Structure 1
Amino acid sequence: MRIALAQCNSGTDPDANLDLLERLTERAVADGAELVIFPEAMMCRFGVPLGDVAQPLDGPWAGGVARVAERTGAAVIAGMFTPSGDGRVRNTLVIAVPGEPVRGYHKIHLYDAFGFAESRTVAPGDEPVVVDVAGHRVGVATCYDIRFPALFVELARRGAELIAVPASWGAGPGKLEQWRLLASARALDCATYVAAVGQALPDDPGLRESAAPTGIGHSRISDPFGSVIADYGAQQQLSVHDLDLSVVEKARAASAVLANQRVIPTDPTE
């Protein structure tokens, strides 16, 4: 499969961000990409009221993503925000595959960590999602989800050969090292390719110091053996990569991490 990682910066105008998504998708498809993965919060960056921009999956923003996918012939995954029905929003990935209905994944694990409380304004999802893209199974996860191995194992058990992880990673001491380690560790956990795509480091110094997670770049692709096969810097970058997905079967046969995994009983006294 030929995939593109679109490490970029979204702003606060959903229409402008959709235009950027369209331009970058066109560039990626011109280089043969079958799947283009954008960061979390591509519809609108963090640090502003999200309820004002949230739209349903059958609304104009997700519909625009679907039209880009149909016109270019490439699947597109991008972060957006949808209404939750309880006054909050959901942190959603729109998954647009040409010829298929739009799908959505609502982020399961919310970023209530490092001094940030995502759950204050965002409601969690509860269902893992795997879709068919170009004859292969692609799972999805979002940013903080990458700290939870069980989700990635479940996606692999549902057939995922590649797991796309759009993110808008927060800055801070040790955070870059954690991001790099986690991307490779999750690939090893489930013997699956992991394509972790982050918002680029903002040009605005004020946004870099924001309490909101506005991105540090350093997108990465790790193969099912945990080897790093693409590693970006902090700035904006669009690149296309060929993935040999037959490696997934070889890795699972060699490491047997899925076949040998056992359920550890919990302490009934807890």
Structure 2
Amino acid sequence: MRVALVQLAADIDSAANREHISTQLAGLTADDALDLVVLPEASMHDFGAADHDLAAAAEPLDGPFVQLIAAEARRLGTTIVAGMFERTGDDLPFNTLVAVGPDGSLRTTYRKIHLYDSFGYKESDRLLPGEIEPVVIDVAGRPVGLMTCYDLRFPELARELVDAGAETLVVPAAWVAGDHKLDHWRTLLQARAIENTVHVVAAAQGGDRYTGHSLVADPWGSIVVEADSGSEILRADLAADDVARTRDVNPSLANRRLAPPRPAASRKSSLPS
């Protein structure tokens, strides 16, 4: 599976963000033969200050942001996963990942389960949590599980996705910078890869406020490619048999005793990739 990770710094001007995304994605073409392009959490519109009204900025799933992502997915002939704030019937929106297929159709959504009520911040004051329903989609014949930012700190979600068949975890994020935060980001991404013997594809916001350092880790937990803090596009090829080879040598999933595999309640896209 050939992937591209788009690292960018979003703003609270949604129209400007769309223009910036279009400019950055112009560096990709259909000739790149990409299977998956991943943009960060909140690519549509940044979180802004703690009192910034995200409900006013939120868009429906057929709004301008998803229309842009659909047009780019069709142009590139690829699946794109990107983060937005989704309008609801409630006063508060969802923090949502949209997955748009190569034909421009919305294949699935994942609404962030674990809201960032940590490090002195309270995301739940501004957003609704999604249902506890792991989401796995098929991309180029590979099962891909979706997580968002703070979800990374909860290994049980990654394990539910893997029990539902995921062999790659995709983690869009806006990982706030600060003491220890870059170490946490790298360590947790590598840990999720190692303990689940999966690829991890993490696209993060960069700039001054966020940690950046989008990266891809292989099923051994080794970092294949990593960005710095600025706007950048990373590319990586994820070999189909990496997961099987790693699990043959390190069958830790099969050796579990405290929490044996069980059917997970997951939502899967039935549409072709």
Q: TM-score, normalised by structure 1?
A: 0.88
1:114 pairs, out of 89, 102, 119, with: 119
The CA deviation at 1:118 is 0.3
Counterpart residue number, 2:8: 8
Mapped partners of 2:67, 2:230: distance in 1: 29
Aligned CA RMSD, in angstroms, stands at 1.7
**Equivalent position amino acid for 1:178 in 2:** H
Is 2:226–2:234's contact at 8 Å kept on the other side of the alignment?
no
Mapped partners of 2:64, 2:203: distance in 1: 24
SS in structure 2 of the partner of residue 229 of structure 1:
strand
Percent identity of paired positions between Structure 1 and Structure 2: 43
Runs of 4+ aligned structure 1 residues displaced above 6 Å come to none
1:234 pairs, out of 229, 235, 248, with: 229
**Equivalent position amino acid for 2:44 in 1:** M
Aligned length: 254
Counterparts of 1:135-146 in structure 2, within 5 Å, are: 135-146=141-152
Mapped partners of 2:247, 2:92: distance in 1: 40
Is 2:79–2:100's contact at 8 Å kept on the other side of the alignment?
yes
Counterpart residue number, 2:35: 34
The CA deviation at 1:264 is 5.4
Counterpart residue number, 2:45: 44
Structure 2: gaps (5+ residues): 261-273
Mapped partners of 1:182, 1:246: distance in 2: 23
C-alpha distance 216-195 of structure 1, shift in aligned 2 (>3 A): same
Mapped partners of 1:156, 1:69: distance in 2: 26
C-alpha distance 26-262 of structure 1, shift in aligned 2 (>3 A): farther
The CA deviation at 1:108 is 0.6
SS in structure 2 of the partner of residue 179 of structure 1:
helix
C-alpha distance 6-149 of structure 1, shift in aligned 2 (>3 A): same
Q: Are residue 18 (structure 1) and residue 13 (structure 2) matched?
A: no
Counterpart residue number, 2:69: 65
Q: Are residue 193 (structure 1) and residue 199 (structure 2) matched?
A: yes
SS in structure 1 of the partner of residue 18 of structure 2:
helix
The range that moved more, 133-142 or 11-20, is: 11-20
